[in-house]
Structure 1
Amino acid sequence: DITESELQRHTMNGVWGAINKAYCVIEFDLKGNITNANEKFLKAVGYSADEIAGRHHAMFVPKDFVDTKDYREFWDMIAAGERYDGQFKYLGKGGKEVWLDATYNPICDEMGRPFKIIEFATDVTNQRNAEQLSDAVRESQTVIESAKDGDLTGRVPLDGKTGKIAQLCNGINDLLDAMATVVGLVKDSSDAINTAAREIAAGNTDLSGRTEEQASSLQETAASMEELNGAVRQNAESAKEANQVAINASVIAEKGGHAVTQVVETMQAIRDSSKKIADIISVIDGIAFQTNILALNAAVEAARAGEQGRGFAVVATEVRNLAQRSAAAAKEIKTLISDSVDKVQVGSRLVDDAGHTMSDIVSSVSQVTALMSEIATASAQQSSGIEQVSEAISQMDDVTQQNAALVEQAAAAAESLQGQAESLFSAVSRYRVGNESSRTPQPASRGTAAGASKVAKARGASGAPETDWEEF
């Protein structure tokens, strides 16, 4: 017969086997270290028994929550013997998110003192994801319907959404951000284009009037340039004739300069010859003086000779008289020659001055000729330049006429652009984008596990403290 204790043992084993098949079971010591886990729990989190044996419960909790006061109070409460249940997000192997509907149960000895903790849990990840997907679809439809009606300010809430669902919702929000940005830019651009088109139209009207005035002024300027061109052409011809006259005067002045130079040279030769004649007369005067001395000496010797020297004395006297007359004639000739030399010197100086003056005249005439040549060249260039300016003004007149036609076309195009801008603005004005029309929208903040709202709170005989955490 099976005793009552054996029956109870078999019953407990059966119950425990059923629990292991139906629930995820994991056991901890009072410090939170893992002591055992069944296959269903290991399959849910993706770890093997060896990978989690002896490790702390914190391996399943986000790192930013492990060091919080809530997490420490959670373990203090369980270690004190209070039960805790709710839905929790576990971080499985490779960061996989696993949602468990779990109960943390302190196990007490005969004295009522807890010595270990057993967690019974059901894997509700698929149910949780389905609920999140359903909520996300419903919220997305609401936002999309609002967008269809022109309201681009709505966004899909990201609180409590994780994984692919959070990525999908965030993608929809990013799309709405992009649409709001585009619509806002189109609004701003269409308004700016409309304003610019009006300004362009007004500017084209003003430009058209100024272009017509410019065309009229260019026509008057072209006529004035034509008259000026004729006057400059006449001046160029006159300058050319004056240049030729100056060239002829330069040639004549050069000839006169050569003639004066020859006169100067001739006067120099006469002056030199006069000096030579004066020198010769001086020699003759010296000879006459010596002859006079000799005749005087001869007369003295003849007087000493007495009767015998009388004839010689007569000859000496005649020679002396002749020498005196020669000396007198030489003196007169020398005086005349000196006077001629002085006059020749005066004439030579005058001729030299005339030569210098003639050289200055030739130089001045050459300068005048050069200036007249430059004036003639400049007049020719000026005439050519004015002809080019006249042609340029004529071309400017043609271009101005073309510009006037283009201005009319631009005015018509501006009016058409203004109408299109107004139509575009009317088309996008039905959309409401909030403050995003004038700035680049910021991306919607993504939900985080640590910032998600609480799913469940502790339930126990003495009442567990409420906390803001909902996952670990």
Structure 2
Amino acid sequence: MVAELQTKMSIFFKAVNQSLAIITFDPHGTILFANQNFAQLIGYSSEELEGMHHRQLCPEAFVSSPDYKNFWINLGHGVAFHDKVERITKAGSSLWLDAMYTPVLNEEGTVEAVVKIATDITEQETVLQQSASEFRIVVEEMTASTNEVHEASLTIAKNMEALNMESDGVKKNIEQIQSIASFVKEIAARSKILGLNASIEAARAGEHGRGFAVVANEVQNLAQTSEEAADNISDQLKNILYSVATMIEKVKEITSKIESNTTSIEELNEAYNHIAATAENLTVTH
């Protein structure tokens, strides 16, 4: 029974050793053993790997970071690690692995070794990074376009605000002109009455008032013309005032829509930034 179990275990470990890349470290990161599969992936022989330190297979940026120190501290405390990792081959190229680091404990519960089982995912990671890079470029272009629209919207909003202020000024000027036209109309009405009274007095004066009658008649004619001109100006000013008021309302409506669009653009920009951050996280390594 024991012999049969040992045979089955031997077959199992032989199969694992033949199909997976396996490397073993002491608790401090020194390589104790690397099978043929791992040696072929990394470009060294199994004999060359024995005695090397784990850091010699890692990118310099990772080795010099606090994450690397914590990585081995955690393994030394018996905490397993599983993630995609970047390693450097003997030729200096990047090798991407789906790696599982498993601390091996002795009878006292102390870590005596760390076994790493890895699968080569370099091809998949290369495609992923290229896709993420292209995606970031697209997002950056979309963000730039959105920023241009945002800036244009802000400029239009400012111009609309200035136009609104100028329109208010025009409206006030027209109202002042209307009051002047009303005043002219009032004077014309008084002049008509004055001319009428002068005509009556000229008629009473008979032959002596004939010259005065001509002047009185001209005063009435001038008053009538002034009154008609004042009415005409007042009507035109009313039309202009209505158009200006309508324009002011339209400007306010457009300004409101632009402000709403500006808020939407800002929200869209935030979404782009979130997407870019997500794409960046796809390529985070240990």
TM-score, length-scaled by structure 1:
0.32
CA contact (8 A) 2:192 2:224 kept: no
Q: Aligned partners of 2:164 and 2:229: how far apart in 1?
A: 29
Tell whether 2:130 aligns with 1:335. no
| 1:273 Cα deviation after fit | 2.9
Is 1:278 aligned to residue 167 of structure 2? yes
Higher relative contact order (CA 8 A, sep 6+): 1
Residue correspondences, number: 171
What one-letter code is carried by the residue in structure 2 that aligns with 1:242? S
Amino acid at match of 1:331: L
User: Which 4+ runs in 1 deviate beyond 3 A?
Assistant: 208-216, 226-231
Deviation at 1:362, TM superposition (A): 2.1
- Corresponding position of 2:224: 314
Question: Structure 2: which amino acid aligns with 1:267?
Answer: I
* In the alignment, structure 1 residue 268 sits paired with structure 2 residue 157: yes
- For 2:219 and 2:244, locate their aligned partners in 1 and report how far apart those are by CA, in whole Å: 36
1:234 aligns with 2:114: no
TM-score, normalised via structure 2 length: 0.50
Alpha-carbon distance, 1:320 to partner: 0.8
- Find out whether 1:305 has 2:194 as its counterpart: yes
Aligned to 1:351: 261
1:222 pairs with 5, 10, 17, which one?
A: 17
Contact map agreement 1:285 1:326 (CA 8 A) in 2: no
- 1:324 Cα shift? 1.1
Segments of 5+ residues of structure 1 without an aligned counterpart are: 1-205, 382-472
Determine the C-alpha separation between the residues in 2 that align with 1:354 and 1:345: 14
Residue 241 and residue 223 in structure 1: after superposition, are their counterparts in 2 closer, same or farther (change >3 A)?
farther
User: Hey, what's the Cα distance between the residues in 1 that align with 2:152 and 2:227?
Assistant: 49
Flag the structure with higher strand content.
2
Q: Measure, in 2, the Cα distance between the counterparts of 1:322 and 1:219.
A: 108
Deviations along 1:121-177, whole A, 9 cap, x unmatched? xxxxxxxxxxxxxxxxxxxxxxxxxxxxxxxxxxxxxxxxxxxxxxxxxxxxxxxxx
Segments of 5+ residues of structure 2 without an aligned counterpart are 22-36, 38-97, 99-117, 196-215
Tell me which residue corresponds to 2:184.
295
Q: Percent identity?
A: 6
User: Given that residues 185 and 230 in structure 2 are in contact (C-alpha distance below 8 angstroms), is that contact kept between their aligned partners in structure 1?
Assistant: yes
Q: Does 1:371 align with 2:260?
A: no
SS in 2 for 1:259: helix
RMSD between superposed Cα atoms in Å:
3.1
Distance in 2 separating the partners of 1:281 and 1:326: 14
Deviations 1:209-260 (A, max 9, x none): 8776554333211233259755523332232123212321331232123122
Match of 1:257 in 2: 146
Q: Which has the larger radius of gyration?
A: 1
